[in-house]
Chains A and B, each alone.
Chain A
Amino acid sequence: MCALSFEARHWYPGGFSLDARFETASARVTALFGPSGSGKSSIIEMIGGLRMPDKGYIAVGGETLFDSATALTLPPERRGIGVVFQDLLLFPHKNAEGNLRYGMRRARRDGPEIHLERVAEVLELDALLDRPISALSGGERQRVALGRALLSRPRLLLMDEPLAALDDRLKLRALTYIERIVNEWTIPVVYVSHSQAEVRRLADYVVVLDAGRVIASGPPSEALAAPGAMQLKDASGPMNLLRVTNLRQEAGRWTGDIGGHRIVLPAMENAPGNEVYVRVSPEAVLLSRDDIEGVSARNHLRGTVRSVVEIAGACFVGVDVSQIVWAEVTPAAVRELGLKNGAPIFCLIKTHSLRVLE
């Protein structure tokens, strides 16, 4: 397998600095997750050789691509790294096939075996080959860009928010194509995204970035639940931010109210004021038709369903408990629980999954 070691420090003229280090070990799909401006795209450009860090070390599969200590910089054409750009950057003067063949002619001989016929089959490009780029739809261009990068037979495939330009319906389809690529050819992928839903679905390793720093890394369930990652706004999935009032101590635990509901807070370093805000990931909110006894979740909030939103295969249910609490469930659960607007429902939240903003 082809592990990536990345370590870079870079100072930008505007005062922003990047200082990031991570390794992907044996991950098939590594996600770089974080808000816009967190440095994700810069890292992709540095790995691809399209931008030089001031200091650092980058290696893929044991081969050093960049090392500031020995002033080694491999030019992009000799790195064997495919890039799917956010704006695709297809060649407008070539048709779909011309774009696909561009990297093929120049492919490294030591790269994985990838053939045009098979790529066209997997990405359903056969009918598009002789069309000019201007005659392709957004989703079709996306597939041509994926195929073009693949056919350069890279040992690592970088994708910089490849779905950013697509609407939700097309996103879902595009994700399927990316999954097909990962399953068919065992090329490791580094995938940039600010969407938790995409990251959960695709990645088996996540590097969470904020303001140019790595704030968490690991398997998706761990990395995305880390305190730093919790505070990131997620453009495609709602993040709960709840106001807790009337703080008091009960049996040694800080307790407060959300609407009329009692909520037990996790331990805090400093004594809070009269009210605090807490964040909780929609994934950590369980829904139940009945107020069940004998569960470990201590906070039971009774409310009514206000909205059900489907994003990239996951359903987000907005429950009104005086404030809106979002819960992430599967489409099957939505059917089975009969989650419709106006339906009464209980939100179960473990105290442990609440993060207090102090």
Chain B
Amino acid sequence: MGFTAAELEAIGVSARVAGVAVLVGLPLAVALGRYLSRTRGRIVWLVEVIVMLPLALPPIVSGFFLLVLFGRSGPIGRFLDDRLGVQIAFTWIGASLAAGVIAFPFMVRAARLGFSAIDPRLELAARSLGASRLSAFATVSLPLASRGILAGLVLGFAKALGEFGATIIIAANIPGKTQTIPLLLFNYTNQPGGLEESWRLVVVSVVLAAGALIISEVLEQRGRRRVRA
């Protein structure tokens, strides 16, 4: 297809930004999904609303909150900068954070569904056979929910690749650093003749999205069959 250097760079940045976003978020999403699958009550409801909020919120608003918290003068941003010398705003870490916020609800929801499909008494059976609480989780629930969790990871990755609104607020649009596929596409469409230029990245986006959906769907169905055995 003959990608330009800027396009290849954007694809690389996208892969890194989205990959780090879902991998870092995964353990937390699994823990939270498991917690939500077993617990009922007002606190659970509140946690769920907070986690799911970015799905309903305009991404620009999510980006605004991220900037307030993680910007150079924000409480967390200043702390990280002063103590660890790590900058979030206008770096690829910021872009990853924005992508993670969007991907996280998908991963939590998939993990919760995965765990909900498992008979909680299977863990009790494991414990009566001598497994500790943690070992029962790791050897019974986690493998049984793994397909569902993976499905959420793939879908979250696809959503992270497409993040635009929050990313442009917290990470701006810096070629080679924070310029992901959608941000470069945005540049193209603002240029005369940009629509022609856009096709290559549009095709890449469609292929990635469709691939992610198919993988995610297949994983989820296999997971369901497995739990029912």
B144 cross-chain contacts in A, Cβ below 8 A = 92-93
In chain A between 80 and 134, which residues have their CB closer than 8 angstroms to a CB of chain B? 81-83, 85, 87, 89, 91-93, 102-103, 105-108, 132-134
Q: For the complex, give the distance between the alpha carbons of A76 and B128 in Å.
A: 5
Is A260 engaged at the interface, CB distance under 8 Å to the other chain? Answer: no
Closest to B228 in A: A92
| Set of chain B residues within 8 Å of A149, measured between Cβ atoms | 128-129
Instruction: Return A46 CB to nearest CB of chain B, in Å.
Output: 13
Question: In the complex the two chains form, is B128's CB within 8 Å of A106's CB?
Answer: no
Main secondary structure of the interface of B (DSSP, over half): helix
Q: Mark B216-229, 1 if CB is under 8 A from A, else 0.
A: 00000000001111
Q: How many residues of A contact B (CB 8 A)?
A: 28
A89 engages B121 (CB within 8 Å): yes
On chain B, the number of residues with a Cβ less than 8 Å from chain A's Cβ atoms is: 22
Instruction: Report the separation of the CA atoms of residues A133 and B140 in the bound assembly, to the nearest whole angstrom.
Output: 14
Asked whether, in the complex, the Cβ of A133 is within 8 Å of the Cβ of B229, the reply is: yes
Tell me which residues across on chain B come within 8 A of A87, comparing CB atoms. 121
B41 at interface (Cβ–Cβ under 8 A)? no
Contact of B124 among A50, A81, A133 (CB under 8 A): A50
B75 an interface residue at 8 Å Cβ cutoff?
Answer: no
| Smallest CB gap from B125: residue in A | A89
Give 14 new A-B contacts, CB below 8 A, not counting A85-B125, A87-B121: A49-B128, A50-B124, A77-B130, A83-B125, A91-B126, A92-B144, A92-B228, A92-B229, A93-B144, A102-B129, A106-B130, A106-B135, A134-B229, A152-B130
Chain A residues within CB distance 8 Å of chain B: 48-50, 75-77, 79, 81-83, 85, 87, 89, 91-93, 102-103, 105-108, 132-134, 148-149, 152
10 cross-chain pairs, A with B, having the tightest CB-CB distances, nearest first: A106-B130, A103-B129, A92-B229, A134-B229, A89-B125, A76-B127, A83-B128, A152-B129, A77-B127, A50-B124
